[in-house]
Amino acid sequence: MKNMNIYFATDKNIYDALHHKRITTAILRETLLRKGIIVSPDFSRERLIDEVCKLPHGFNDLETLKEFVQTYDKRESTTNLKLNTSSSQNELKAAAEEVKKKLATGNGETISITAKKDGSLSIDVNYQDIDLSRTALRQIDNRNVKIDMKVTDGNIDIRMPQNQKAKDVVTLFQNELSKIKSEEVEKFEISLEAIPTPVLRSQFFQDLMNGLDGYEIDDVTNVELNRHSSKGDGEDDEEEEIETGFVKKAVLKGEAVNSSAIFAQLHSKGYYIGRIAWSAKPKSTIGNRILVEAFFKNADNCSDFSYQIKGINNQRTNGFNITMRAATDIEKKDISELIESSAENAYNIVTGKKVNEHEKG
């Protein structure tokens, strides 16, 4: 027993886990082969599961099985926020140490704090997410959140995964920092909840895409449109080319979808962009193409702003590779800074705090 968890799985636990959709026939055959068992290619998936269930399963076997069926997606989306206060690395570290004391309660959580030479600070939290409604081998997911903090002029910039655990840690940190500074530390995060106008909500994403410094839009491949609920919606549906009276969300996939006639018609009927994926290429024509997705996790309220760096297309002589590769840590850091800066500028534009650079002159 460790951290109050019993490492034991019954035959039924294993049987249930093997029926998960991620356990393919190829995985089942590979499992049997690893145990020195060769089976007929005519065996059905159910027959393969029965054969695997007959075998003894050690700790490593169960860990491998849990990896296949876990619900935790390590490629979580990212978000950023600011704490509106001047500070120092020493204050950040002091607040983080207090957070560590509160989190280290013996519930399987481990916390590490790293202070870097550039004045930034990272908090790594390893924890367990428990959901007893799932089958036994899927009830506990081992998860990790990394929260990066950096002191800037009058602010603390925070980059973190867009999930509840990261939010809880940052809230704890914010409270502890307030105690250290003997003043209330305010938080800023991008949200359009107070801006119900569909046109402005969509403009945020247009300005975000156009505002990546040094890049220009190459293609828009995915747009998710949501409809803002208000009285009077649907009154003129019968006269429109597209009937949308009962459609709350529409997803357009393909190439140049933001220029399509369907997009224009939905947009004119009060739908706004809640998620968008696009590729951007360097304006200098030298460099790789980046693939990015930005969205509000709470699409109805346009809150919980998030983004993902989907990948990179390397440049070649006559364009870019079709094959996408994962971004390196350095590329992720650089692209994240561009997205976050552009998102804040776009927010300031739609809230009237800044003039759109494209509209000047």
Distance CA 32, CA 330 (A): 40
Q: Tell me, what's the pLDDT at 262? A: 80
- Closest among 2, 62, 8, 5 to 31, alpha carbons compared: 62
Residue 238 pLDDT greater than 50, yes or no: no
pLDDT at 4 over 60: no
DSSP state of 222: E
Q: Which pLDDT tens digit goes with each residue over 275-290?
A: 999 999 999 989 999 9
> Would the CA dihedral through 67, 69, 71, 75 be positive or negative?
positive
DSSP symbol at 196: -
Q: Is 277 in contact with 219 (CB distance < 8 Å)?
A: no
Which residues, 6 or more positions from 327, have their beta carbon under 8 angstroms from its beta carbon? Answer: 290, 309, 311, 312, 335
Q: pLDDT tens-digit profile of 150-199?
A: 999 889 999 999 999 999 999 999 999 999 999 999 999 999 999 988 88
Q: Give me 170's structure tokens.
A: 């940052």
Give φ, ψ of 243 to 5 degrees.
-85, 120
Residue 316 has pLDDT above 50, yes or no: yes
Of the pLDDT bands very low, low, confident and very high (cuts 50, 70, 90), residue 354 is low
Mean pLDDT of 319-335: 94
How many helices (H) and strands (E) in the chain?
Answer: 9, 13
> Whose structure tokens read 């983004």?
307
**105-114, 140-149, 169-178, 227-236 — which is least confidently predicted?**
227-236
* pLDDT (tens digit per residue) in 81-108: 999 999 999 999 999 999 998 887 656 6
Nearest to 57 by CA among 17, 23, 94: 17
Is the full-model pTM beyond 0.95?
no
Phi, psi dihedrals of residue 27, rounded to the nearest 5°: -65, -40
C-alpha span between 59 and 68 (Å, rounded): 15
**Which of residues 95 and 136 earns the better pLDDT score?**
95
Do residues 41 and 160 lie in contact, with contact meaning Cβ atoms separated by under 8 Å?
A: no
